[in-house]
Amino acid sequence: MALMIGTECMSCGLCIEECPNDAILDSNPIYVIDPDLCTECVGVFDEPQCVRVCPMEVIIPNPDYAESQEQLLEKERRILGSRDPDQ
Ligand code: SF4
């Protein structure tokens, strides 16, 4: 399940630096998570890094994107495979 950022977000920017998939966008008025790029950090970290650093504790599961652990792992592999190795 991709995560989403609640409306209490204060746009501090801490989460953007932590996301391994560049899934978090600096949008107006609050930051947003691209569900196509969010994997809940499965396969990379033991816990969602954005949740770990969010001081407002407003990052929650996005009910519109229910995915199994296996689907999240597959998404992570797809994202990694699409990256330019020179980046
Ligand atoms: Fe990025 Fe992980 Fe947060 Fe998803 S859970 S937005 S992949 S840091």
The pLDDT profile of the chain, 87 residues, written as one tens digit per residue, is: 899 999 999 999 999 999 999 999 999 899 999 999 999 999 999 999 999 999 999 999 999 999 999 999 999 999 999 887 765
Residue length of the chain? 87
How far does the centroid of ligand 1 lie from the alpha carbon of residue 51, in Å? 8
pLDDT of amino acid 25: 96
Residue 50 Cβ inside 6 Å of ligand 1? The answer reads yes
Residue 87 has a pLDDT of: 58
Distance from the alpha carbon of residue 16 to the mean position of ligand 1, in angstroms: 9
What is the distance in A from the centroid of ligand 1 to the CA of 58? 13
Task: Please give the pLDDT value at position 55.
Answer: 97
Q: What is the pLDDT of residue 74?
A: 97
Give the whole-angstrom CA distance, residue 58 versus residue 44: 22
Residue where the block lists tokens 């597959």: 74
**Which residue has its alpha carbon closest to ligand 1 atom 4?**
38
Q: What's the number of domains the chain is made of? A: 1
Domain containing residue 71: CATH number: 3.30.70.20
Q: Which domain holds residue 54?
A: 3-83
